[in-house]
Structure 1
Amino acid sequence: MLVQVEGVTRSASGAALVEVRTSVGTVTVRWCGDLEATPGAHHVEWELDEEFRWGPDCHPVDAGTPRLGQDERGAFFRGRLGLTSSTPAFAHLELADAVVDLGRVDALPDDAAGSWVEVHLEPGKVAAHPYSTERYRPEGGGDGGGSGGGAEEGRSACAPEATDPREPRTRAWTNRVLRPPLEPELSRSARSGIFASHHAARNCRTPVAG
């Protein structure tokens, strides 16, 4: 998703926070990218670090419009619910031009797929991982040389210091498999297949350029 990011602030615990403005709302989240080049336009991948349960923090809504923001309960994301065809099924939220991974949703009704839902979680559990479509490539792929595919920039807020000089310091790591966003025109069956593969590899550590 293409977003507009404001300057970095710090939470009481020291986490880097940014205000992210999108076409469907504004939310303050943890920033997992280059701290020195943060303000401005970025493509980001959303990470919602929550174990959702149907009812308390994931529920159907009548409004058929995508939305994200913050209210008295914390951060919220509203979109159309998609499910993989795997067993167990994994959920994702179609939010404007983004697809947001929800993982497994406990007590999910059988007829929930395709419905409009809203998920709620603490703001500190929402992270934005920036990426560049020009620099993204599979691990081991390359443009020759030993640069690792890009000039070194500032340190990523969520990435450890690189120990290999060939690796750019701006790569963000997470326990989820990150990737460029799915194209909006993909069918739901195609999305489900991709997310099934995504979760099969969920324990891998995959780098994404920051």
Structure 2
Amino acid sequence: MLIELVKLAKFPGRPWLAAARTSFGHAAVRWRGSRAAEPGEYHVEWAIDEDIIWGHNAKPAIESGPGLRTGGHCVVLQDRAALLDFAGTKVLPDLADPLPEDVADTWVELFIDSDKVSVYPYVL
């Protein structure tokens, strides 16, 4: 997926974070590329390093449509249940338990600690 890297930041005791902008929102996520990366457009793969637990870090979305935003110390990802499809980029989250049956093919929000959402840049 193509993102705009706005800037990189490093805070004491925290990983490198990228201020990333997409067509459906922006958030600070863990940067797994060069620490010398300049602002600009990058193709990236997304990874979520946290189990998804319905009612804990996953809930029904109020609105439909994909989304990405910051929510306190979390990144809020919004997409269809159990399969995030960010503009054609698939992210398969690890589900601790199956989602409720009535959630299938509905819009959900995932609240993931920003240290647990990573982007890995690659060259086409």
**TM-score normalised per structure 2:** 0.88
Q: Which structure has the larger Rg?
A: 1
Instruction: Confirm whether residue 5 of structure 1 aligns to residue 18 of structure 2.
Output: no
**Residues 158-197 of structure 1 aligned to structure 2 (within 5 Å):** none
| Secondary structure of 1:15's aligned partner | coil
Greater alpha carbon shift after TM alignment, 31-40 vs 117-126: 31-40
**Residues 141-152 of structure 1 aligned to structure 2 (within 5 Å):** none
| Secondary structure of 1:12's aligned partner | coil
* Aligned counterpart, 1:51: 51
Separation of aligned partners in 2, 1:95 and 1:117: 13
Separation of aligned partners in 1, 2:67 and 2:76: 8
- The amino acid of 1:26's aligned partner reads H
% same residue: 34
The structure showing larger relative contact order (alpha-carbon pairs under 8 Å, at least 6 residues apart) is 2
- CA deviation digits over 1:33-75, x for unaligned, max 9? 1222342100111111111101121111241111001123621
Separation of aligned partners in 2, 1:48 and 1:11: 21
Separation of aligned partners in 2, 1:106 and 1:99: 20
Separation of aligned partners in 2, 1:11 and 1:40: 21
- CA deviation digits over 1:92-119, x for unaligned, max 9? 2123332222122425112322111110
* Aligned counterpart, 2:86: 95
Greater per-residue strand proportion: 2
Separation of aligned partners in 2, 1:129 and 1:73: 21
**Structure 1 residues not aligned, in runs of 5+:** 82-90, 134-210
**Alpha carbons 1:80, 1:95 under 8 Å: kept:** no
Separation of aligned partners in 1, 2:96 and 2:107: 15
1:108/1:36 CA distance change after superposition, 3 Å: same
- The amino acid of 1:104's aligned partner reads L
| Secondary structure of 1:55's aligned partner | coil
**Alpha carbons 1:29, 1:124 under 8 Å: kept:** yes
**Residues 58-77 of structure 1 aligned to structure 2 (within 5 Å):** 58-72=58-72, 74-77=74-77
| Secondary structure of 1:102's aligned partner | coil
**Alpha carbons 2:73, 2:114 under 8 Å: kept:** no
- The amino acid of 2:104's aligned partner reads A
* Aligned counterpart, 2:103: 112
- Aligned-residue Cα RMSD (Å) equals 1.7
